[in-house]
Amino acid sequence: MNLEVRQAGEAEQSQIEELLNDYLAELSQHREICVGATSAAEYRYLKDYWSDSSRFPFTLWANSELAGFAFVRRTEEDQEHVFQVAEFFVKPKYRRCGVGRAAVTNIWQRFPGRWELQVMNRNESAVQFWERCISQRAKSWKVEEIVAPDGRRQFFHFEVAE
C-alpha cells in the first residue's frame, strides 16, 4: 500500500473536520467519564492547527485515498522541545494493514527528539498499537498511568532518534 503523509493546508480543514467527527465519536466510547468534545464543532483547538506555529496538522493518504489524520504539537519542558501526538486517527478500513504504523514512523522522522502521548485505558487496541510502534522506534521509553478528566490513561514518554 502506498502511504503519503502530508502537512495539511487550510483547504484540507473541512476534510479533517469530517474525520475528526468520526474520531471523537469513537473516542467517546472509551471514556470512563463523559467529558470533552464529541464533535469537530466542540474541538476548541481545531483552528489553532492552522494559526499556531507549534501545532502541525497532517493528512494520511493510502493509495491516494484519504485514510486519516494526525495532530502534532510542540511544547517546552525544561527549556527543551517535547512533541506530542495530540490526536491520531486512521479510518477503520485502513487499520491493521500498516497505514498507522507507517504514518507514525514518517511523522516521528520529521520531528526527532522527545515525545509524549496519552491513550485511554479502555481503548485497548490503541494501547497495544502505541506500545508496538514506540517499542519498535524509540531509543528509550516509559509509560505511567494517569487520571485525566475523562478517566484513566496510559501516558507514554519516549525519544525518537534522528
Reported as a single tens digit per residue, the pLDDT across 54-92 is: 999 999 999 999 999 999 999 987 778 999 999 999 999
Reported as a single tens digit per residue, the pLDDT across 143-156 is: 999 999 889 999 99
Q: Hey, what domains does the chain have and what are their CATH numbers? A: 3-160 (3.40.630.30)
Q: How confident is the model at residue 14 (pLDDT cuts 50, 70, 90)?
A: very high
Q: How does the average pLDDT of the chain come out, rounded?
A: 93
Reported as a single tens digit per residue, the pLDDT across 95-115 is: 999 999 999 999 999 999 999
Q: How confident is the model at residue 160 (pLDDT cuts 50, 70, 90)?
A: very high
Q: Kindly state the cell numbers that stand for 107.
A: 511523522
pLDDT surpasses 90 at 127? yes
pLDDT surpasses 90 at 1? no
Q: Which residues contact 156 (CB under 8 A, 6 or more apart)?
A: 115, 116, 117, 118, 119, 130, 134, 141, 142, 143
